[in-house]
């Protein structure tokens, strides 16, 4: 286990006003010692963070590593560490805004000034802000630090758009499967990561006809399409995932109407094709298809049904509201939460009256207030 | 004879408005007026295991396992694992046995109280035998007295129970299989760790940030990842399992504990596999875990110089 030493001297804890990484920050949340201007060293031990460079190294388990590749990496590691000078490229532009000149207040035990008199009341003391919510403020947190996954953060849920994208993923997966073994790795990787933000490309690929082949498995109707789709996929440039699909619901609806149902019934059995489909689906729609679900998916129809299924409601009340059950029954009322005694009073319009009368007598409206329960109640319940 | 029997049966059935001329096999299913209105809430769907002789049963032997990258969750490679490793049928009783076994074994068992012979003090007779009007009393350490010894108190002991190794190993793989089936087993590439941004590391290295700021940054950074992936608190938290301690990930999960926990492989139990919303484990850790818990699949008996070693530990279908 390699770690970089992150021991900081107390001098490094001092603010360095000429550091190139420092973004201009407002002088907020600075701590000043009221008695002394001397900054204190950090009282807590510094964390040992690991750089990205190290984390990308393949680490192997001490006992389980049996593959030669892992052993080679392990052998190489000391060399790598030696070459890797513990210096960060401090010229890297940072979009983080952090407080300047943080001076931590000394604890009362550390103060040596004989004139120091600790305050006994909070009145008259200067208030300074803490740093607990420093990063929660928008202007401090860099936009490049936002999480970006493999697929869009917002899943595509519109059924027709989802159908178009599913079909596109199927076409692309079949094409990638055909060329993946012979093509270069870079081309396959580019094809699998293609986002295809433009509408024209999407329509071209979605328009490719999908049929059941001789053995019933899903394939492209026209052999020429394989080459065409591969050419557009493998040449796709790496790009960020767009937040919304390039096709509107209305356009998707029109497109879906032109298709028959045959493509949804063809067989989809090859686990490798299914893997490519799942990867393309994740890239295009943001839906992650678990492996166990891939096992059950045997046709494009079942795949689409899985993606199109709304998430399971968390509460029974949501189920009832969604299905509209019980609503036709005249003698059944439905509430999403428990009907409390207050609710019952409100229903008959008595609650305001009760409230008014209780307040008039200076009695607590809810609860018992300062009036404890009777002694007899305690006796009856075994509380002494 | 048979005709007479059927005739008399027909007469009997007429009273019940049932036709006896139809045999059971050809009789159409007559929907009962009362029962057909609604289905039973607990009714199970018709099993699809019934098949004819000409369709031989070919059970599933392997299941696919996608290896993802972290934190982008990009599917990187595909492997094929035996159903005996990752697709075992669930037996709650076996999982229960394993969890109880672990719980028993983990009990510290150090509760201890002093008997009358261990309580400090003189064993001189507290008062004379007769004449005080009080009951007979030997020493002041008597369990009857306040400050006296405990008559039947706890003593340090070993609470551990026994469980057959093959059952325990089965429980491990069953817990993994349960997670797999529910889509809650996410296997990542080796070297699972939290990659922190370079500029933050530069600032931390230069000592520009104090500990509060460092932890605050990592907390927010980790929270964003967990929320983005749908792995956070609102989705039942996440357990990360790695082969050894990864500083960034482990410290990140310490400061961001509401969203999950990180464990080294040696610290993992069956109970840990059953807790939290999902298990995120690196590939080699999973392999090691299964390798260490497959005694029920392996044989110790050598026949012709060979012994059954169980199914292979994963076969790569698509390499990254």
Residue B102 CA to residue B119 CA, distance in Å, equals 35
List of chain A residues whose C-beta atoms are within 8 Å of the C-beta of residue B200: 94, 96
> Which tokens hold the place of B4?
């007479």
Q: Tell whether A120 and A10 lie within a shared domain.
A: yes
Residue A150 contacts B where some CB pair is shorter than 8 Å: yes
Domain assignment of residue B218, yes or no: yes
Buried b (16+ CB within 10 A) or exposed e, A63-90: ebbeeeebeebeeebeeeeeeeeeebee
Q: State yes or no: pLDDT of A86 exceeds 50.
A: no
Domain assignment of residue B245, yes or no: yes
Q: State yes or no: pLDDT of A45 exceeds 70.
A: no
Q: Tell whether A188 and A286 lie within a shared domain.
A: yes
Range with lowest mean pLDDT among A23-27, B19-23, B60-64, B86-90: A23-27
Q: State yes or no: pLDDT of B55 exceeds 60.
A: yes
List of chain A residues whose C-beta atoms are within 8 Å of the C-beta of residue B64: 271, 274-275, 291, 294-295
Q: Tell whether A374 and A256 lie within a shared domain.
A: no
Q: What is the mean pLDDT of residues A290-318?
A: 92
Domain assignment of residue A321, yes or no: no
What pLDDT digit, counting tens, does each position of B275-290 carry?
Answer: 999 999 999 999 999 9
Domain assignment of residue A329, yes or no: no
Domain assignment of residue B119, yes or no: yes
Q: Tell whether B231 and B284 lie within a shared domain.
A: yes
Residue B295 CA to residue B314 CA, distance in Å, equals 17
Buried b (16+ CB within 10 A) or exposed e, B139-160: bbbeeeeeebbeeeeeeeeeee
Q: Tell whether A165 and A27 lie within a shared domain.
A: no
Answer whether B183 sits within 8 Å of A291, measured CB to CB: yes
Range with lowest mean pLDDT among A62-76, A244-258, B61-75, B183-197: A62-76
Range with lowest mean pLDDT among A224-238, A267-281, A363-377, B9-23: B9-23
Question: Mean pLDDT of all residues in chain B?
Answer: 88
> Which tokens hold the place of B240?
């990360």
What confidence tier does B165 reach under pLDDT thresholds 50, 70, 90? very high
Residue B105 CA to residue B108 CA, distance in Å, equals 8
Domain assignment of residue B41, yes or no: no
* Residue B226 C-alpha, separation from nearest chain A C-alpha, in angstroms: 9
Q: Tell whether A117 and A171 lie within a shared domain.
A: no
Answer whether B216 sits within 8 Å of A59, measured CB to CB: no
Provide the 8-state DSSP code for A217. Answer: B
Helix (H, G, I), strand (E, B) or coil at A287: coil
Residue A116 CA to residue A133 CA, distance in Å, equals 31
Domain assignment of residue B8, yes or no: no
DSSP chain B: -HHHHHHHHHHHHHHTT--SSS-TTT---PPPTTGGGS--TTPPPPPS----TTS------EEEEEEEPTTT--EEEEEEEEHHHH-PPP-HHHHHHHHHHHHHHH---------TTTS-S--S-SS-SSSSSSPP---TT-TTSTT---SS------------HHHHHHHHHHHHHHHHHTT-EEEE-SS------HHHHHHHHTT-S-HHHHHHHHHHHHHHHHHHHT-SGGGT-EEEEESS--HHHHHHHHHTGGGEEEEEGGG--HHHHHSSSEEEEEHHHHHHHHHHT-TTT-----BTTB----S-S-EEEE--
Q: Pairing relation of β-strands B315-318 and B260-264?
A: unpaired
Q: Tell whether A190 and A127 lie within a shared domain.
A: no
The predicted pLDDT at position B12 comes to: 64
The predicted pLDDT at position B308 comes to: 92
Q: Tell whether A185 and A260 lie within a shared domain.
A: yes
Residue where a domain stops, chosen among A308, A341, A359: A308
Q: Tell whether A244 and A190 lie within a shared domain.
A: yes
CATH code for position B235: 3.40.1370.10
List of chain A residues whose C-beta atoms are within 8 Å of the C-beta of residue B218: 49
Q: Tell whether A166 and A220 lie within a shared domain.
A: yes
Answer whether A88 sits within 8 Å of B202, measured CB to CB: yes
> Which tokens hold the place of A360?
């008039």
Domain assignment of residue B20, yes or no: no
> Which tokens hold the place of B316?
């790569």
Q: Tell whether B221 and B120 lie within a shared domain.
A: no
Report whether B5 contacts B13 (CB < 8 A).
no
Handedness of CA A176, A180, A182, A185 (dihedral sign): positive
Q: Tell whether A125 and A206 lie within a shared domain.
A: no
Residue of A nearest to B177 (CA): A292
Residue A132 contacts B where some CB pair is shorter than 8 Å: yes
Dump strand ranges (E) for chain A.
Answer: 210-212, 218-220
Q: Tell whether B142 and B248 lie within a shared domain.
A: no
Residue of B nearest to A21 (CA): B203
Q: Can you give A288-329 as a three-state secondary structure string?
A: CCCHHHHHHCCCHHHHHHHHHCCCCCCCHHHHHHHHCCCCCC
Q: Tell whether B74 and B222 lie within a shared domain.
A: yes
Q: Give the other-Cβ count within 10 Å of A36's Cβ.
A: 16
Residue A274 contacts B where some CB pair is shorter than 8 Å: yes
Q: Tell whether B241 and B153 lie within a shared domain.
A: no
Question: Residue B193's closest CA among B245, B259, B255?
Answer: B245
The predicted pLDDT at position A384 comes to: 67
Answer whether B191 sits within 8 Å of A56, measured CB to CB: yes
Q: Tell whether B273 and B154 lie within a shared domain.
A: no
Answer whether A50 sits within 8 Å of B66, measured CB to CB: no
Q: Tell whether B130 and B165 lie within a shared domain.
A: no
Task: Determine the distance from the C-alpha atom of residue B285 to the mean position of all C-alpha atoms in its chain, rounded to a whole number.
Answer: 17
Answer whether B73 sits within 8 Å of A16, measured CB to CB: no
Answer whether B64 sits within 8 Å of A274, measured CB to CB: yes
Q: Tell whether B122 and B270 lie within a shared domain.
A: no
Containing domain of residue A357, as a range?
A: 350-380
Residue B29 CA to residue B173 CA, distance in Å, equals 44
Domain assignment of residue A180, yes or no: yes
List of chain B residues whose C-beta atoms are within 8 Å of the C-beta of residue A141: 220
Answer whether A65 sits within 8 Å of B284, measured CB to CB: yes
Structurally, chain A folds into a number of domains equal to: 3
List of chain B residues whose C-beta atoms are within 8 Å of the C-beta of residue A13: 207, 210
Structurally, chain B folds into a number of domains equal to: 2
> Which tokens hold the place of B32?
């009962």
Residue B235 CA to residue B89 CA, distance in Å, equals 25
Q: Tell whether A142 and A171 lie within a shared domain.
A: no
Nearest to B205 among A58, A63, A88 (CB): A88
Range with lowest mean pLDDT among A205-219, A318-332, B24-38, B268-282: B24-38
Containing domain of residue B141, as a range?
A: 111-158
Residue A319 contacts B where some CB pair is shorter than 8 Å: no
Q: Tell whether B276 and B151 lie within a shared domain.
A: no
Q: What's the number of CA atoms in the CB half-sphere (13 Å) around residue A174?
A: 30
What confidence tier does A65 reach under pLDDT thresholds 50, 70, 90? very low
Q: Tell whether A243 and A288 lie within a shared domain.
A: yes
Q: Pairing relation of β-strands A218-220 and A210-212?
A: antiparallel
Residue B206 contacts A where some CB pair is shorter than 8 Å: yes
Domain assignment of residue B32, yes or no: no
Query: Could you tell me how many residues make up chain B?
Result: 320
Domain assignment of residue A177, yes or no: yes
Torsion, Cα A254 A257 A263 A264, to 10 degrees, reads 100
Domain assignment of residue A64, yes or no: no
What confidence tier does A207 reach under pLDDT thresholds 50, 70, 90? confident
Q: Tell whether B176 and B279 lie within a shared domain.
A: yes
Domain assignment of residue B83, yes or no: yes
- Best residue in B179, B206, B252 to probe A by mutation, most A CBs within 10 Å? B206
Provide the 8-state DSSP code for A151. Answer: S
What pLDDT digit, counting tens, does each position of A115-134 carry?
Answer: 888 888 988 887 776 788 88
Q: Tell whether B228 and B281 lie within a shared domain.
A: yes
Domain assignment of residue A265, yes or no: yes
Range with lowest mean pLDDT among A115-129, B22-36, B232-246: B22-36
Nearest to B207 among A12, A86, A90 (CB): A12
Q: State yes or no: pLDDT of B16 exceeds 60.
A: no
Range with lowest mean pLDDT among A79-88, A116-125, B29-38, B191-200: A79-88
Domain assignment of residue A81, yes or no: no
Report whether A93 contacts B225 (CB < 8 A).
no
Report whether B136 contacts B116 (CB < 8 A).
no
Q: Tell whether B206 and B261 lie within a shared domain.
A: yes
């Amino acid at each position: 286990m390699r770690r970089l030493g992150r021991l900081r001297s107390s001098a490094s804890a001092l603010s360095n006003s000429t550091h190139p990484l420092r973004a201009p920050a407002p002088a907020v949340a600075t701590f000043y010692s009221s008695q002394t201007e001397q900054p204190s060293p950090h009282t807590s031990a510094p964390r040992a963070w690991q750089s990205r460079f190290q984390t990308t190294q393949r680490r192997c388990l001490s006992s389980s590593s049996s593959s030669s590749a892992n052993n080679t990496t392990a052998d190489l590691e000391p060399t790598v560490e030696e070459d890797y000078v513990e210096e960060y490229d401090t010229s890297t532009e940072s979009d983080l805004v952090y407080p300047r000149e943080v001076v931590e207040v000394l604890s009362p035990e550390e103060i040596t000034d004989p004139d120091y008199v600790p305050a006994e009341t909070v009145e008259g003391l200067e208030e300074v802000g803490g740093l607990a919510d420093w990063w929660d403020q928008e202007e401090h947190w860099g936009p490049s630090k936002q999480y970006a996954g493999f697929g869009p953060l917002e899943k595509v849920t519109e059924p027709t758009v989802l159908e178009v994208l599913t079909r596109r993923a199927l076409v692309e997966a079949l094409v990638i499967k055909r060329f993946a073994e012979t093509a270069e790795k870079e081309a396959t990787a580019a094809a699998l990561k293609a986002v295809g933000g433009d509408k024209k490309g999407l329509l071209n690929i979605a328009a490719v006809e999908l049929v059941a082949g001789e053995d019933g498995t899903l394939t492209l109707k026209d052999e020429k399409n394989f080459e065409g789709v591969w050419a557009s996929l493998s040449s796709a440039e790496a790009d960020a995932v767009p937040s919304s699909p390039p096709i509107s619901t209305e356009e998707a609806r029109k497109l879906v109407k032109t298709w028959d149902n045959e493509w949804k019934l063809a067989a989809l059995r090859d686990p490798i094709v299914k893997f490519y489909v799942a990867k393309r689906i994740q890239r295009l729609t943001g839906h992650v298809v678990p492996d166990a679900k891939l096992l059950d998916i045997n046709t494009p129809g079942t795949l689409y049904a899985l993606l199109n299924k709304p998430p399971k409601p968390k509460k029974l009340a949501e189920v009832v509201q969604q299905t509209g059950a019980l609503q036709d029954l005249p003698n059944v009322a439905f509430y999403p939460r428990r009907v409390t005694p207050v609710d019952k009073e409100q229903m008959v319009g008595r609650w305001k009256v009760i409230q008014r009368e209780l307040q008039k007598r200076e009695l607590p409206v809810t609860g018992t207030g300062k009036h404890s329960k009777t002694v007899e109640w305690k006796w009856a319940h075994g509380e002494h | 004879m048979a005709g007479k029997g059927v005739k008399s049966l027909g007469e009997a059935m007429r009273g019940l408005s049932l036709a006896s001329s139809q045999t059971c096999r050809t009789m159409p299913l007559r929907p009962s007026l009362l029962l057909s209105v609604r289905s039973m809430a607990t009714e199970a769907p018709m099993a699809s295991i019934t098949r004819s002789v000409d369709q031989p049963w070919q059970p599933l032997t392997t299941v696919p396992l996608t290896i993802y990258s972290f934190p982008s969750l990009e599917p990187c490679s595909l492997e094929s694992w035996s159903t005996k490793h990752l697709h075992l049928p669930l037996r709650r009783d076996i999982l229960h046995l394993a969890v109880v076994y672990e719980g028993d074994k983990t009990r510290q068992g150090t509760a201890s109280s002093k008997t009358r012979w261990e309580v400090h003090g003189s064993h001189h007779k507290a008062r004379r035998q007769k004449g005080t009007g009080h009951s007979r009393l030997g020493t002041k350490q008597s369990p009857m007295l306040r400050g006296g010894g405990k008559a039947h108190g706890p003593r340090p002991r070993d609470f551990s129970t026994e469980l057959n190794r093959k059952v325990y190993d089965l429980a491990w793989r069953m817990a993994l299989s349960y997670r797999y089936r529910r889509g809650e087993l996410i296997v990542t590439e080796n070297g699972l760790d939290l990659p922190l941004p370079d500029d933050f590391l530069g600032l931390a290295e230069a000592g520009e940030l104090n500990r509060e700021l460092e932890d605050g940054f990592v907390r927010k950074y980790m929270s964003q990842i967990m929320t983005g992936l749908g792995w956070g608190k609102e989705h039942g938290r996440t357990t990360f399992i790695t082969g050894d301690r990864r500083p960034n990930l482990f410290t990140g999960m310490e400061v961001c504990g509401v969203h999950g926990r990180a464990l080294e492989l040696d610290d993992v139990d069956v109970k840990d596999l059953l807790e939290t919303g999902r298990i995120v484990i690196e590939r080699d850790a999973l392999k090691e875990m299964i390798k260490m818990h497959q005694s029920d699949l392996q044989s110790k008996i050598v026949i012709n110089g060979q012994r059954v070693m169980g199914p292979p530990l994963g076969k790569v279908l698509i390499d990254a």
